[in-house]
């Protein structure tokens, strides 16, 4: 029995050796058949490293399995993972990497229904930290994906859904893909929004209209979605419009210059001047928001989608309803609606106005501003001066309701009569004085004073001062009155002409030494000039300032208030003789009523002779 078992074991060994010989037979045959080729293709590197050769088919199969079951865990890459477990604090995410990642449940607060088996997007923050843990972030992945979606929506003009979270200055904050975007108030709707709070908490469709990548700002618009449709609707409506057509609309917006009316998809403007035939200060005096009213189409522009509407044109023009019997000269009552510098507009009937020019408000020729006579809102009575029904113009007057003060001017203000008036204004040549309302007179600057040399009337009096005047001239036709103030008193130079005539002698003091001579004061009105040659005293010296001496008048001109005196003529016979001759000649000429020019010529000749010019 033992012998039999032994034989069996020997037979098995023989069979194994035979099998091995069979398996290695092809390799041995290959080495034996072509040993040179075998040595040339032999992989000595694998032999030295102890690497067993593997078939190409098996390598391809292995690479395919790796590609299907494992991810290349690059940093900052967004991949899709599967929730394989949820704890009290974390979610375990499998992304087919060497290890699973852990993400805090705080990042899934927006999704309270998260469960095992859900697919979630995650960002690979770190492939392997110090403990070998894979670090993932769902929040960061959501932000990256959200910006990709927002950019795509902007670039491709896609419509996105958003949730209006709250109000902010100038608009609303909208949640789009988890990103807070700004919705301007003007982009909520095509019509003005008065209640922003009504939109908070609503889901709406938007278009992404602007992205600022530098500041991570996104601007969205709901208005942009409906504008295209509205433009088409506008063109269709405008294409059916006709001038003069009456439509019903709703007041959409009120501005200081007019009212915008919604005609059912297209807006038209009723300018403030087309709201009422009467003057109004603001459109809200006529209409209010959301009011329905009929309007007439005045004009429209298809290319610019502009429609001009009218409201007042639906009623009869007030001028057409004006009393036919109204004529020039009739008295009317009305309310002051507008005041301008040149006058005031009076509404005598609704939509019918007449102008009262400032010159027709008072008989006074001294014009003032219209505000001095009336105020807006005043009820006034006036007389119709002109009436043009075709051009729809009317001029009125207030002063015509009182008598014209110039009617009996000759009896009230005859030439030579004295009166008291009020200074109203100045000119370079004189002063206007009002004697009563409607009657002004002019005092020329030369008629203000007998003695003072006045360069401008303001040196003599002030506006508002009372002045006594004398009527010098009266032009009834030209409505002009010439007055004088100095004529209230006698001319003191008439008396001075006798007291200080040529040849008279007076004692005075040298007041000032001036060029070519000196001046002396005989009284407060008369300042005489003493030529240089006539300052010589008897001892040959000349008079000095402050020195008192006797002087003889050698020239007296009442017209120009000019007096010339000489001290030398007192002690020199030749000069005395010349002065006496000149005095006699002047007296004779006055008796013969010679002209002022002749007297002046004689006096000038006398002066030239005494100064040694002849």
Q: What is the pLDDT of residue 189?
A: 79
Contact (Cβ atoms closer than 8 angstroms) between residue 518 and residue 530: yes
How many whole angstroms separate alpha carbon 220 and alpha carbon 171? Answer: 11
Q: What is the pLDDT of residue 55?
A: 63
Q: What is the pLDDT of residue 47?
A: 61
The predicted model gives 42-67 an average pLDDT of 62
Q: What is the pLDDT of residue 613?
A: 46
Element housing 426 (H / E): strand 418-427
Q: What is the pLDDT of residue 602?
A: 56
Q: What is the pLDDT of residues 511-559, one digit of tens each?
A: 898 888 999 988 877 889 999 888 888 888 888 888 888 898 888 887 7
- Residue with the bigger pLDDT between 601 and 261: it is 261
How many whole angstroms separate alpha carbon 511 and alpha carbon 501? Answer: 21
* pLDDT at residue 614 is higher than 50: no
What's the token pair of residue 278? 């009467």
Q: What is the pLDDT of residue 383?
A: 92
Q: Which residue in the block uniquely carries the two structure tokens 């979605």?
A: 225
**Cβ neighbour number for residue 279 with a 10 Å cutoff:** 13
Q: What percent of the chain is modeled with pLDDT above 70?
A: 78
Q: What is the pLDDT of residue 395?
A: 92
Q: What number of H helices and E strands is found in the chain?
A: 12, 30
Most confident of the ranges 126-140, 174-188, 236-250:
174-188
CA angle (104, 106, 110) in 5-degree steps: 130
Q: What is the pLDDT of residue 51?
A: 59
Is residue 578 helix, strand or coil? helix
pLDDT band (50, 70, 90) for residue 590: low
Taking only Cα atoms into account, the Rg of the chain, rounded to an integer number of angstroms, comes to 59
Q: At what angle do helices 25-33 and 2-23 cross, to 10 degrees?
A: 40
Element housing 484 (H / E): strand 480-484
- Residue with the bigger pLDDT between 596 and 417: it is 417
Q: Which residue in the block uniquely carries the two structure tokens 């007998």?
A: 450
Query: Sign of torsion, CA 324 330 336 341?
Result: positive
Average pLDDT over the chain, rounded to whole?
79
* pLDDT at residue 585 is higher than 60: yes
pLDDT band (50, 70, 90) for residue 2: very low
**Cβ neighbour number for residue 251 with a 10 Å cutoff:** 21
What's the token pair of residue 609? 């002779």
The predicted model gives 318-346 an average pLDDT of 87
| Residue 349 CA to its chain's centroid (Å) | 36
Q: What does the DSSP 8-state code read for residue 193?
A: P
Q: What's the first-to-final CA gap in the chain, in angstroms? A: 197
The predicted model gives 244-266 an average pLDDT of 87
* pLDDT at residue 118 is higher than 80: yes
**Cβ neighbour number for residue 436 with a 10 Å cutoff:** 14
For 402, phi then psi, to 5°, come to -120, 155
* pLDDT at residue 216 is higher than 60: yes
- Of the listed ranges 251-265, 277-291, 364-378, the least confidently predicted one is 364-378
Q: What is the pLDDT of residue 385?
A: 92
What's the token pair of residue 328? 């020039």
Q: What is the pLDDT of residues 23-52, one digit of tens each?
A: 444 455 555 666 677 666 666 666 665 656
Is residue 449 helix, strand or coil? coil
* pLDDT at residue 11 is higher than 60: no
Closest by Cα among 296, 288, 292, 244 to 268: 296
**Cβ neighbour number for residue 404 with a 10 Å cutoff:** 12
Q: What is the pLDDT of residue 519?
A: 92
Q: What is the pLDDT of residues 436-474, one digit of tens each?
A: 887 888 999 888 887 777 889 888 889 888 888 999 988
For 81, phi then psi, to 5°, come to -120, 170
Three state DSSP letters for 111-178: CCCCCCCCEEEEEEEECCCCCCCEEEEHHHHHHHHHHHHHHHHHHCCCEEEEEEEEEECCEEEEEECC
pLDDT band (50, 70, 90) for residue 3: very low
| Residue 589 CA to its chain's centroid (Å) | 76
What's the token pair of residue 447? 């008629």
What's the token pair of residue 40? 């040339």
Helix%, strand%, coil% for the chain, nearest 5:
30, 35, 35
Is residue 409 helix, strand or coil? helix
Closest by Cα among 202, 267, 215, 278 to 238: 267
**Cβ neighbour number for residue 86 with a 10 Å cutoff:** 15
How many whole angstroms separate alpha carbon 605 and alpha carbon 592? Answer: 19
What's the token pair of residue 321? 């309803």
Q: What is the pLDDT of residue 32?
A: 60
How many whole angstroms separate alpha carbon 582 and alpha carbon 577? Answer: 9
Is residue 427 helix, strand or coil? strand
Q: What is the pLDDT of residue 304?
A: 59
What's the token pair of residue 10? 């020997």
The predicted model gives 122-150 an average pLDDT of 77
CA-to-CA dists, residue 40 to 31, 33, 35, 37, 101, angstroms: 11, 14, 9, 5, 50
* pLDDT at residue 254 is higher than 80: yes
Q: Which residue in the block uniquely carries the two structure tokens 């930290």?
A: 129
DSSP-assigned states of every residue in 244-304: T-EEEEEEEEE-SSEEEEE-SSSEEEEEGGGT-SS--S-GGGT--TT-EEEEEEEEEETTT
- Residue with the bigger pLDDT between 191 and 248: it is 248
**Cβ neighbour number for residue 551 with a 10 Å cutoff:** 26
- Of the listed ranges 10-14, 33-37, 124-128, the least confidently predicted one is 10-14
How many whole angstroms separate alpha carbon 479 and alpha carbon 591? Answer: 39
Query: Sign of torsion, CA 376 381 385 391?
Result: positive
How many whole angstroms separate alpha carbon 43 and alpha carbon 52? Answer: 10
**Cβ neighbour number for residue 535 with a 10 Å cutoff:** 21
Count of alpha carbons within 13 angstroms of residue 556, beta-carbon side: 23
């Amino acid at each position: 029995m033992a012998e039999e078992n032994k034989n069996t074991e020997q037979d098995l060994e023989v069979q194994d050796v035979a099998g091995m010989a069979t398996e290695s037979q092809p390799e041995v045959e290959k080495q034996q058949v072509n040993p040179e080729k075998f040595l040339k293709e032999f992989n000595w590197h694998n032999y030295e490293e102890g690497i067993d050769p593997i078939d190409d088919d098996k390598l391809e199969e292995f690479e395919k399995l790796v590609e299907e079951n494992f991810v290349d865990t690059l940093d900052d890459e967004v991949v899709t993972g599967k929730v394989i477990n949820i704890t009290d604090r974390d979610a375990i995410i499998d992304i087919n990497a060497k290890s699973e990642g852990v993400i805090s449940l705080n990042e899934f607060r927006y999704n309270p229904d998260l469960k095992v088996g859900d697919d979630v997007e995650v960002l690979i923050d770190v492939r392997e930290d110090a403990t070998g843990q894979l670090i993932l972030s769902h929040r960061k992945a959501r932000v990256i994906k959200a910006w990709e979606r927002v950019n795509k929506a902007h670039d491709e003009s896609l419509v996105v859904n958003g949730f209006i979270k709250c109000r902010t200055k100038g608009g609303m904050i909208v949640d789009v893909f988890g990103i807070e975007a700004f919705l301007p108030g003007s982009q909520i709707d095509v019509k003005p929004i008065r209640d922003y709070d009504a939109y908070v908490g609503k889901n709406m469709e938007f278009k992404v209209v602007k992205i600022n990548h530098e500041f991570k700002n996104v601007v969205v618009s709901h208005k942009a979605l409906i504008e295209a449709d509205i433009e088409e609707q506008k063109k269709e409506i405008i294409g059916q419009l006709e001038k003069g057509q009456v439509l019903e609309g709703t007041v959409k917006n009120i501005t200081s210059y007019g009212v915008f009316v919604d005609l059912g998809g297209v807006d038209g403007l009723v300018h403030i001047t087309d709201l009422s035939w009467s003057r109004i200060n603001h459109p809200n005096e006529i209409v209010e928001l959301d009011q329905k009213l009929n309007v007439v189409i005045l004009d429209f522009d298809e290319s610019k989608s502009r429609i001009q509407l009218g409201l007042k044109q639906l009623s009869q023009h007030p001028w057409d309803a004006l009393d036919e019997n109204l004529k020039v000269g009739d008295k009317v009552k009305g309310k002051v609606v507008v005041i301008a510098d040149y006058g005031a507009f009076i509404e005598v009937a609704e939509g019918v106005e007449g102008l009262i020019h400032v010159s027709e408000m008072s008989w006074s020729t001294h014009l003032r501003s219209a505000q001095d006579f009336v105020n807006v809102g005043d009820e006034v009575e006036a007389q119709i001066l002109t009436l043009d029904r075709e051009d729809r113009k009317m001029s009125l007057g207030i002063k015509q309701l009182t008598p014209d003060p110039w009617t009996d001017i000759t009896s009230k203000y005859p030439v030579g009569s004295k009166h008291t008036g009020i200074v109203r204004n100045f000119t370079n040549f004189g002063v206007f004085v009002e004697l009563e309302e409607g009657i002004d007179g002019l005092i020329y600057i030369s008629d203000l004073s007998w003695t003072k040399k006045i360069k401008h009337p303001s040196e003599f009096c002030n506006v508002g001062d009372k002045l006594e005047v004398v009527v010098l001239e009266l032009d009834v036709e030209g409505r002009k009155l010439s007055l004088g103030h100095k004529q209230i008193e006698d001319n003191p130079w008439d008396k001075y002409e006798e007291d200080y005539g040529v040849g008279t002698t007076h004692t005075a003091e040298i007041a000032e030494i001036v060029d070519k001579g000196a001046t002396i004061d005989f009284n407060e009105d008369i300042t005489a000039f003493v030529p240089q040659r006539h300052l010589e005293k008897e001892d040959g010296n000349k008079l000095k300032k402050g020195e008192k001496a006797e002087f003889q008048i050698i020239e007296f001109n009442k017209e120009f208030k000019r007096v010339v005196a000489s001290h030398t003529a007192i002690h020199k016979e030749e000069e005395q003789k010349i002065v006496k001759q000149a005095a006699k000649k002047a007296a004779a000429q006055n008796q013969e009523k010679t002209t002022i020019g002749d007297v002046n010529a004689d006096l000038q000749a006398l002066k030239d002779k005494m100064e040694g010019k002849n």
